[in-house]
Every structure is written in C-alpha cells, then in structure tokens.
Structure 1
Amino acid sequence: GYIYEPEKGDPESGVNPGTPFEDLPDDWVCPVCGVGKDDFEEVS
C-alpha cells in the first residue's frame, strides 16, 4: 500500500514536503486508492 512520507509530502494533492501526517488537510485522501486519513495505520 501507499506510505505517506512527510519529507516528500504529496505535491500532486497540494501537500508540501515537510508536512507531518497529522497536519494533512481533513479532506486529504490516499493518491493511490482514495481512502481518507482515518483509514491509515502508523508504520515504523
């Protein structure tokens, strides 16, 4: 699945590099499958 990387951001969705996951807009969705932030799981 898609792993959000804060250092890369998500420029195609208007999210600048350096944006922490918790600071993503509430309406941000996965660029691969379209699920919202609430459906993401933290990985280490």
Structure 2
Amino acid sequence: MCLICGWVYDEEQGLPDEGIAPGTKWDDVPMNWTCPECGARKDDFEMVVI
C-alpha cells in the first residue's frame, strides 16, 4: 500500500498497462517503478495483507 495516497498493489492483478504481468510478486516489481496514482517511489510502500 502506498503510504502517500493509499493505493494498493494487487499481486494477482499486476499492472498490465505498465508491463507488470498478473501474478507478479511485489519483490519482483522494478525498483524504479512509481505509484500510478501519485508517483511515489516503491520505497514509499508498506506491505499490507487484505
């Protein structure tokens, strides 16, 4: 979950529009990736279990 805007990355859905296939684990998301909602860096995310 993004600590800036609250957007949640869903591993099952991925982000196909950004080249991240469904099923991509958070650890496998590139370090230079940014939040699609606010542009925050991957470092600004915290793991949550929904």
Q: Provide the TM-score with structure 2 as the length reference.
A: 0.80
Structure 1 residue ranges without an equivalent (≥5): none
Q: How does 1:1-12 map to 2 (within 5 A)?
A: 1-12=6-17
* Structure 2 gaps, min length 5: 1-5
Question: How many aligned positions are there?
Answer: 44
Q: Output the TM-score relative to the length of structure 1.
A: 0.89
Structure 1 ranges of 4+ moved more than 4 A: none
2:42 matched residue in structure 1: 37
Q: Provide the identity percentage.
A: 50
